[in-house]
């Protein structure tokens, strides 16, 4: 029953309540992003959702548009400002995804939506991560976020699609809050955010 109906019901209800209660935070963060990084305030990017259906995911922008002499964007570690790092460490940059949850593109808990260009690189087993709606947080985020390898991330993602339940979702939310408060797993050891997925060996 939870998988068929209540998960989506809770997603809609909780995201709507969160948007209303956090509206002052949305406004403050939007003003700070506009002041620190300019416009646009939101970062919009296509991501694959349930059954690999493409949707537009929204986040608060956390990087500058700094470019090199050829007009190419600089690497993430250059464009990620100290303000952007604070946004990410507190996960405030993720707040606009609540609207994706309200629309039904995402869930509060599920595998994180990754880049569209990764779709051809997944193994048959890894593709199972798209059997459910992607989440604001997930089993992989609760177990290390960006500090774990791609192989570990996908293992947790697939495990979630096979075992998720109301109590598992509650556990993941609790573990995520704890990780955010402790500023754990924000980035990998070798990249500003996470290394690019290049496929399986």
C-alpha–C-alpha distance, residues 105 and 64, integer Å:
27
If you average pLDDT over every residue of the chain, what do you get?
90
What average pLDDT does this structure show over 175-187?
77
Where exactly are the structural domains of the chain? Answer: 2-182
Q: pTM of this prediction?
A: 0.89
Q: How crowded is the C-beta side of 19, counted as CA atoms within 13 Å?
A: 15
| Span 128-140, pLDDT tens digits | 999 999 999 999 9
Confidence check: pLDDT of 147 > 70: yes
Where is pLDDT greater, at 34 or 146? 34
Q: Quick one: pLDDT at residue 179?
A: 84
Q: Which residues of 27-37 are buried (b: 16+ CB within 10 A; e: fewer)?
A: eebbebbeebb
Q: Quick one: pLDDT at residue 193?
A: 61
| Span 13-32, pLDDT tens digits | 999 999 999 999 999 999 99
| Span 43-75, pLDDT tens digits | 999 999 999 999 999 999 998 887 777 777 777
Structure-token pair, residue 50: 């349930």
**Helices marked H in 90-165:** 97-103, 139-142, 150-163
Confidence check: pLDDT of 190 > 60: no
Q: Quick one: pLDDT at residue 154?
A: 96
- The set of residues, in sequence order, having a beta carbon less than 8 Å from that of 110 and lying 6+ positions away, is 132, 133, 134, 135, 138, 160, 164
């Amino acid at each position: 029953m939870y998988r068929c109906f209540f998960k989506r019901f809770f997603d809609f209800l909780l995201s709507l309540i969160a948007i209303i209660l956090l509206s002052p935070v949305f406004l403050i963060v939007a003003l700070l992003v506009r002041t620190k990084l300019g416009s646009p305030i939101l970062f919009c990017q296509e991501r694959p959702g349930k059954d690999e259906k493409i949707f537009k995911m929204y986040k608060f922008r956390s990087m500058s548009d700094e470019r090199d002499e050829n007009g190419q964007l600089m690497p993430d570690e250059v464009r990620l400002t100290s303000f952007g790092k604070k946004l990410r460490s507190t996960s405030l940059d993720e707040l606009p995804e609540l609207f994706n949850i309200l629309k039904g593109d995402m869930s509060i808990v599920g595998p994180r939506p990754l880049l569209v260009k990764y779709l051809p690189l997944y193994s048959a087993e890894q593709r199972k991560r798209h059997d459910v709606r992607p989440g604001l947080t997930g089993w992989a985020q609760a177990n290390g976020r960006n500090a774990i390898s791609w192989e570990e991330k996908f293992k947790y993602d697939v495990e979630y699609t096979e075992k998720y339940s109301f109590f598992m979702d509650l556990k993941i939310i609790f573990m995520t809050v704890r990780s955010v408060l402790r500023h754990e797993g924000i980035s990998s050891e070798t990249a500003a955010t996470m290394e690019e997925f290049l496929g399986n060996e």
